[in-house]
Amino acid sequence: MTHSNNLLRGPLRVSCRSLLSSSLSASYSTPAGYNGNSGYGGHSGYNGEGYSPSYSKEDPSYSNKEGGHTPIDLLAHVNKLKTDVEPLCKELEVAPTVEVATGIVAKIVLLIKAFVALCVNVKLDLSVDIKTKIAVEIVACISLIVKALAAVCIRLGVTVCIALIAQIDVCLQLLLITLNVCVDGLLAIIISLCAKLDVSVLAALKLCNLELLVKICALVKLVGSV
């Protein structure tokens, strides 16, 4: 994680910190971006014990099976994911210790994996309007998580948060890949929205060095320019 450590030295550290400090007090509903050009060992494990998301294919928003697939109200589930993630992100931002932050990240990962499970083996043919609404909520959700992760990295140090960063990076990549399979063209819309992320989110992505997320969202150049 040498690249991440380098990010914390010199003028760049001041720049990223000032950008993040001014933005973390803002509304959590605003999408933002990220960067990454160094590798790390992915730690995808988490402990979600005692935390059970309410996502289920028995949800009333599911309709009957058609054509071998189970149609779902994806927009409703995306909205729910964002609603469930937001308070956890606020908790993560002010986590006093790595242990506390680890528990919160585990809950976030569990929520995302539960959402992903809903989309497995599902193919949806959605209008451009619905795809765009879903993409906006997904980018907003990612922005919430990235900003909160950056805040805790500033508080506790990037080095001690490496495992948390890896878990979030792998999980968000899984989310985007799954959505791309579930809905043709959705990832392209998400990428186009990410190109408009505000500088505070790009700075957060750079600080955390979320390599997988940055690459899948085609943000390498944008994040590198922050």
Which residue stretches of the chain have pLDDT < 50?
1-15, 17-19, 21-52, 56-68
Q: Which pLDDT score, from 0 to 100, does residue 53 have?
A: 55
Q: Which pLDDT score, from 0 to 100, does residue 226 have?
A: 85
Rounded distance, CA 74 to CA 115, Å? 10
Phi and psi (nearest 5°) for 191? -60, -40
Residue 168's nearest CA partner among 112, 86, 90 is: 112
Residue 56's nearest CA partner among 37, 77, 39 is: 77
Q: In the chain, where are the structural domains located?
A: 41-197
Residue with tokens 């619905």: 130
Report pLDDT digits (tens) over 169-185.
999 999 999 999 999 99
Q: Say if CB 34 and CB 206 are below 8 A apart.
A: yes
Rounded distance, CA 106 to CA 49, Å? 9
